[in-house]
Amino acid sequence: GAKTTTTDSNGEFTISDIAPGSGIKVEFSKPGYIGTQKIVTVNSGRTTFCSTSLYVPFIQNFASGMAYTVMQQSNLIDLPANAFVDAQGNPFTGLVQAQVMFFDPTLAENLNAFPGTFSGIQTDGTETMFESYGFFNATFVDNANPSSQLNLASGKQATITSYISPALQASAPATIPTWYYDSAAGKWKEQGSANRIGNTYVCNVSHFSFWNFDHPIVPADLSTLTGRIVYDDGAGNLTPAPGAQVVATGVSYGGYNVSYSDAGGLFSISVKASAQAKLQAFSGENSSPFTNSITTPGAGASLEVGDIIISDLSFTL
């Protein structure tokens, strides 16, 4: 809705009086940074934890009439000449400003910038969990008027070359679906595919937003972690933490999943099978440390991980 707030000196924020529900979109933005969006579930009488990382984009300027390659390290965006139109669809002439960032999904701070959730809508309309082999954001504006965003002209395409992280090269498939983020729907949507050439993925796109190289995780590739989230009052007394949020973040794969504990603090969360992941729990402003890396069980199997302890820092005045 129209509820907004500003982060404090620690980057922390609170937005109150949110109607309970799922699929709630939280927009993050700051001038000079790449904005992003998170999707959260708000439970009645509970505080939902939500965080993100904002990045300063890599910026290059070039003349609109020339073919140009935006290069960020080993990542490339090859653009044809006269590629852009303005918001009204008129051919743009002038200096184009490219605002670009490619993200390595094996880095936790990069995963925290990932918009939406690690699932998307396939071309057949079904939704699937997926793991990322890299994602990027690209925005092009009129350099003389940076608030004026430019779009690729009809019939024009850009060729994307995205470097695959060394940690993912052994498992990276030869062909992978490409997905764009629809911020209005709060969903990733499959559109096209990329081919692996050496240690890069190469694809063509006809519009810009967040794009993602994601491999679907089918049910046969999933396993389950179960456990309990508890509060520690500082005196060694452990009590169940109902409605706490638990996040499973891939260590050997690029992705995360979210679940919530029941009235007894018990949780169950889906993860990639035969991989490594770590868990962290949140309850309001309190959180647990990350667990050690957990080797997840084989496909279809379940592993009990025991208690995840949140230090209860709340008090009654």
Query: pLDDT tens, 37-49?
Result: 999 988 888 888 8
DSSP state of 109: H
Tokens standing for residue 136: 């990027």
Question: 96: helix, coil or strand?
Answer: strand
pLDDT tens, position by position, 216-254 = 988 888 999 999 999 988 777 899 999 899 999 999 898
Q: Between β-strands 302-311 and 222-232, what pairing exists: parallel, antiparallel or unpaired?
A: parallel
DSSP state of 34: B
| Beta-carbon-side half-sphere exposure of residue 151 (alpha carbons within 13 Å) | 10
Q: How far apart are CA 97 and CA 234, in angstroms?
A: 54
Q: Between β-strands 145-152 and 158-163, what pairing exists: parallel, antiparallel or unpaired?
A: unpaired
Tokens standing for residue 22: 């799922």
The residue to which tokens 């509820």 are assigned: 3
pLDDT at 316: 64
Q: How far apart are CA 102 and CA 70, in angstroms?
A: 11
Give the C-alpha distances (Å, rounded to integers) separating 50 from 71, 87, 158, 189, 308: 32, 33, 34, 23, 19
228 burial (CB, 10 Å; 0-12 / 13-18 / 19+) is buried
Tokens standing for residue 140: 């092009």
| Beta-carbon-side half-sphere exposure of residue 222 (alpha carbons within 13 Å) | 18
Question: 192: helix, coil or strand?
Answer: strand
Distance from chain centroid for Cα 227 = 25
pLDDT at 219: 81
Cβ-count burial 272-287 (b if 16+ within 10 Å, e if not): bbebebbbbbbbbebb
Q: How far apart are CA 242 and CA 230, in angstroms?
A: 8
- The answer to whether the CB of 239 falls within 8 A of the CB of 230 is yes
pLDDT at 84: 97
Tokens standing for residue 102: 């490619």
Give the C-alpha distances (Å, rounded to integers) separating 290 from 242, 260, 293, 308: 19, 16, 9, 9
Closest to 247 in 3D by CA, of 214, 277, 213, 285: 277
pLDDT tens, position by position, 122-162 = 999 999 999 999 999 999 999 999 999 999 999 999 999 99
Query: Which positions ≥6 away from 291 have C-beta within 8 Å?
Result: 278, 279, 280, 305, 308
Tokens standing for residue 155: 């019939």
pLDDT at 313: 66
Per-residue pLDDT of the chain (317 residues; tens, 9 = 90+): 789 999 999 999 999 999 999 899 999 999 999 999 999 988 888 888 889 999 999 999 999 999 999 999 999 999 999 999 999 999 999 999 999 999 999 988 898 999 999 999 999 999 999 999 999 999 999 999 999 999 999 999 999 999 999 999 999 999 999 999 999 999 999 999 999 999 999 999 999 999 999 999 888 889 999 999 999 887 778 999 998 999 999 998 988 898 999 999 999 999 999 999 999 999 877 889 999 999 999 999 999 999 999 987 666 67
99 burial (CB, 10 Å; 0-12 / 13-18 / 19+) is buried
